[in-house]
Structure formats: structure tokens, C-alpha cells
Amino acid sequence: MTKLHDPQPLFDANAPHGDRDLGPLPEWDLTDLYPAPDAPELKRDLDWLEDACKRFATDFEGKIADLDAETLLEAIQRHERIEAVAGRIMSYAGLRYYQLTTDPARTKFLSDAQEKVTVYTTPLVFFTLELNRIEDTHFETLMGENSDLARYRPALRRIRAMKPYQLSDELEKFLHDMGVVGDAWERLFDETIAGLTFTVDGEDLNIEGTLNLLTDHDRAKREAGARELARVLGENIRTFARVHNTTTKEKEIMDRWRGMPTPQTGRHLSNDVEPEVVQALRDAVVEAYPRLSHRYYELKRKWLGLDTMQVWDRNAPLPMEQTRTVTWDEARETVMNAYAGFDPRMTEIATPFFEKGWIDAAVKPGKAPGAFAHPTVTEVHPYIMLNYLGKPRDVMTLAHELGHGVHQVLAAGQGEMLSSTPLTLAETASVFGEMLTFRRMLANTTDPAERRVLLAGKVEDMINTVVRQIAFYDFECKLHEARRGGELTPDDINAIWMSVQAESLGPTFEYMEGYETFWAYVPHFVHTPFYVYAYAFGDGLVNALYAAYEEAPEGFQDKYFDMLRAGGSKHHKELLEPFGLDATDPAFWQKGLAMIERFIDELEAMEE
């Protein structure tokens, strides 16, 4: 979930407009946000924002605790409008930047916008601080006096969860202003990654193209890609270590001043999830490593005819898998048919993404790696970024990000404060979209070899989503704990990385020299510490949801849409209750893991 692009129909001179193998690939049209970087509408909104923030501070600072219900509602709605305008500006600046991170003009535009928005909104810091000073009994009285105000209770409850960790008004304003410094380290990471050049077989590639080689049928190409990744990351490892040392230390200082008991506390609070629920998820997955990843990779080792797996074999295609390129039109048709098979309303919501410039799909020089769906603001619409290369897994990525987009469109009705979904729930619709696409493809397959390829691909995706992300989470936990003891050398961070990799992948793997640096390219560690467990949470939740769908399909779609429309207005316990599910029950996670095990059981049975 991030940001990116330019005015007009948005074709960068150095960006390929699709290619002959994939068909025409869509690009963003950001004019729904602003017509151009120098558009009068953008200046108008910046001027309005500056004035609105000043007036808000004049009208409400020092008075929040004494407001009646009606005036508090007015304050919340004015603040929400300010959030929407600031969000629109930053969405536009960010989306342009991520589409071409190596362009100095876009970098400057983003930086300037960030600084202006930060300066303008600094006077608003008092708002959440004073909300938290309202006594609990008075807060409940206010909620009971005005139903429109009570609608905001879930968002206010999450704000008030920070009450024990709140600093003085002066310190909070200082930290708000200092946020641009932390953002600069994130941009250093993004620009360094986007600017790396990898040379494989005489061809210069960006990181996305190089990582793509790790799924090539040719083992020599996979090895060449892996060794080139190791070489280039190794040459830049001091920069990445500096970024991680600095951002991790910054977080440690913040946490210490706020009195947060663990480095993960802030993420749990923002995710609106209990620490013990996350711990139960983590423990269930780690305990299942031998039954999941270790067992599957041993199967894969046999299929590949290897004595030992190397790291470049982890995502290798199966020998029986046919090499083919999936065109963009075919990918669209596959996903949309799967969505329609579940409920036609899904395709109605998804269609504009393809037809109105809401997707940017091509791999381009300087474009940010990976994929995301950015919700922008509720009065506009989401934008999806892909780096589409025509691999079968790219189809699943499209299904995943389109699921995010559908979720964000449905939740927009909640408004700016309540539409935003905690990360743990934000992955629900995306992973469900993948599951729908996979099940559709599996149901249409009669060939046993093709069924095995589909099952194996799904198992690998689930392992990458559950096992790998929990290993990432453990890496972060160890990294942040170690950083509290002092500066970490690149070798220190490498050692932490290898400790979780060996445990999660299992004994069938050997690790080439240089693999220890592969932590360096994972953006979540820098942008959103401890984000990664949300993927495992989402996968486990969706597996349980899909099992409920299979057991009782009648009326499921309406309940599912209601859940997505709720956005961030309900706690995960409330959202899952209509389905008879409860994530606080440790057995809940076993249900999700059991689905992966059943797929592996079927794969093993095919060997007999």
C-alpha cells in the first residue's frame, strides 16, 4: 500500500507500453487526483489545507475536553476533511514518485509536498492528545448523546488505545515535525533499491527483473540471478545496514520515550489486535514448520531430481510445468471469471480498474519494485501497481491486489476515519481473491499433472505467505532486540537473517555464499516494521473463511460484502462472529494451517 504517476495519459518516454508477448499493459491516469503537478487545483488544496489547519487549532486547541457532543462531532468532521485533502495531495505526490523513483523532479515534488503537509498539520497534533484526556465516563456520556458521534467510536477507541503511551504536547509536535527525517531514510532505501543494476548474461536488469529469474525453468539462470543479487546487495550492504540501524534505532528511541513494552506494541495497537493473538499465530506456524515447509520442500527436491536444494531452487517451476507467458488479457479474464463465479458484484467493482487507468502494470526502469493497492482517499478511488511479467504467479498477484482494490472501494463508504482497515484485516479480501482464482483454475483442470502443478503452486504461495512471513517477523523481532544493545554490523544482521531462514526452510536446503544479505531488499522492514505477520494473519483468516464458505455457502456472499464494507469500523472479533469464527481461539490458526497440510497430503498421495 503505497503511492505513484504523471498528468496526461501517463506514458513515460522511457517506459515500454506493454510488449508483443504480454499485450498492451495499462498505465495510471492520475487526473482523478490532480490534472498535473502544477495544476491550480493542487495549489488551491494546499492553500486551503494551510488555512484549515490554522483555523482548526484556533477554534479547538485547549477546548476538546469541554466540548459538548454536537461540537465534538463538528471537530471530528472538520479534522476528517483535513485528512482527506492532505491524503489526496500526498497520494498524488507519492504515486508519481513510485512510478519513476529515479526522477529528481518527482523526488523533489514528493519531498516538498511532504514538508508542506507536515508543517501545515503540525498545529493539529493537539487533537488526538486532547481526545485522550477526556475522562472515560465523560467519553461514554458523549457517545450516548449523539448517534452520529457514536459512529466514530471505533476510530476513537483506537486513538485512545495510545493514551498510556502519549507524550507532552510539545514533544508530540516535535516528533511530528521530525517525521520527515524518518521519511528521508525510507526514500534513501527506495531510491537505492530502484537504482541498482544487475547484469546477468550481458543484460542489465533492475531488481524486479532479477528476482524474476529465480522462477526461471533454467536452473543455470536461477543460479546466475541469485549470485548476481548476492553480488550487488553485498556491494551495497553497508548502505542497507546503515538504513536499518538508523530506522531501528529511531523506533527504539520513540518506543522508549513512549514507554512501549516491546518493539511490536505499536504495530499491535495500530492493527487493533491483541499481542497474545499474534503470539498464538506465530507459535502455531513455527510449530508447523516441519509439517509444512520442511515436508513440502522435501517433495520438491525429489521432483527436481536434486540431492540438495539451493536457495535458487525455492521458487523454481516444477519440471512438469509448461513454460508459457500469460498475456495481460488472459490474466484479466482468469481473475474476473473467478470473481464473477463468486458474486457478479465483485466484477462490477473490479471492472473500472482495468478500463479507467487505475492499474499500472508494466515493468519500467526506475519504477518501484513489487505490487500494491493504494486506497488514496475515499472520495476518489484506489490505484493498483504491478510489475507484470506474464508469469502464472503474476496472475495471482493481480487477483491479490484487485482484492485489495475491491475491499478499498467497498470500505470507502465509511469515510476517511473509519474506512482504513488494520493491516491484519487488510489482507482478507486480497488473499480471498487469490483463493477464488486458484479454486476456479483447479476446478477447471482435469489433467493430473496440471492439477499437481496448480496445487504445488498454491502450496508455495501459502508457504511464502505464512511460513516465510512469520520467519520475517522473527527476523524483525531479533533485529530490533539486538539493536537495543548497540550498533549492528552487516555481519550481525546477516547472522540474524540466516538463523530464521534455516529454521523455516528446513534441512533440505544449502545456502550459497551471499544469501545472508537477502534481508536487504525487503521493503517492509524499513517502511512498516512488523507489517509482515499481517500476511500470515490474513492467510489463516481466509483459509478459515473459505472453509466456512464451503460448509455453508447460503448467504455467505452477503456476509462477506458486509465485512468488507465495514472497513475499520469493527474489531476482528465482531467481523468474524457472523461466520462463527474467532481469531482469539488458538484452534482458529490450526484450521488455516490444516488447509495447507491437506494440499500437501494430496501432493504426496500423487507420488504413490
pLDDT in tens, 541-562: 999 899 889 889 999 999 999 9
The average confidence (pLDDT) of the chain is 91
How many structural domains does the chain have? 2
The C-alpha atoms of residue 232 and residue 438 are separated, in whole angstroms, by: 35
Q: Which residues contact 86 (CB under 8 A, 6 or more apart)?
A: 49, 117, 120, 121
Q: What is the per-residue pLDDT for 152?
A: 95
Residue 168 confidence class, pLDDT cut points 50, 70, 90: confident
Residue 606 confidence class, pLDDT cut points 50, 70, 90: confident
Is there a domain that residue 336 lies in?
yes
Q: What is the per-residue pLDDT for 264?
A: 97
| 409, 427, 453 - which closes a domain | 453
Is there a domain that residue 76 lies in?
yes
9 has pLDDT over 90: no
Q: What is the per-residue pLDDT for 438?
A: 92
CATH number of residue 423's parent domain: 3.40.390
4 has pLDDT over 80: no
Closest CA to 407 of 426, 424, 423: 426
Closest CA to 558 of 540, 580, 579: 579
Q: What is the per-residue pLDDT for 446?
A: 86
pLDDT, tens digit, 9 for 90 and up, residues 13-38? 223 333 447 889 999 999 999 999 99
| 395, 422, 453 - which closes a domain | 453
Q: What is the per-residue pLDDT for 592?
A: 86
The C-alpha atoms of residue 595 and residue 589 are separated, in whole angstroms, by: 10
pTM of the prediction? 0.82
Among 167-171, 344-348, 515-519, the minimum mean pLDDT is found in 167-171
Residue 80 confidence class, pLDDT cut points 50, 70, 90: very high
The C-alpha atoms of residue 491 and residue 493 are separated, in whole angstroms, by: 5
Q: What percent of the chain has pLDDT over 70?
A: 96
Closest CA to 93 of 185, 183, 209, 207: 183
Is there a domain that residue 229 lies in?
no
Closest CA to 541 of 435, 464, 394: 435
Q: What is the per-residue pLDDT for 17?
A: 35
Q: What is the per-residue pLDDT for 282?
A: 95
| 120, 153, 183 - which closes a domain | 183
Using DSSP's 3-state secondary structure scheme, residue 567 falls into: coil
Residue 320 confidence class, pLDDT cut points 50, 70, 90: confident
Is there a domain that residue 391 lies in?
yes
The C-alpha atoms of residue 267 and residue 258 are separated, in whole angstroms, by: 14
H or E, element range at 180: helix 169-195
321 has pLDDT over 90: no
Question: Rounded mean pLDDT of 572-588?
Answer: 89
CATH number of residue 108's parent domain: 1.20.140.70
SS (HEC) of 227-245: HHHHHHHHHCHHHHHHHHH
Is there a domain that residue 49 lies in?
yes
The C-alpha atoms of residue 294 and residue 287 are separated, in whole angstroms, by: 11
Structural domain harbouring 49: 30-183
Q: What is the per-residue pLDDT for 104?
A: 95
Q: What is the per-residue pLDDT for 608?
A: 65
First-to-last alpha carbon distance for the chain, in angstroms, is 43
Question: Rounded mean pLDDT of 405-427?
Answer: 92
434 has pLDDT over 90: yes
Q: Which of 168-177, 238-247, 269-278, 310-319 has the highest mean pLDDT?
A: 238-247
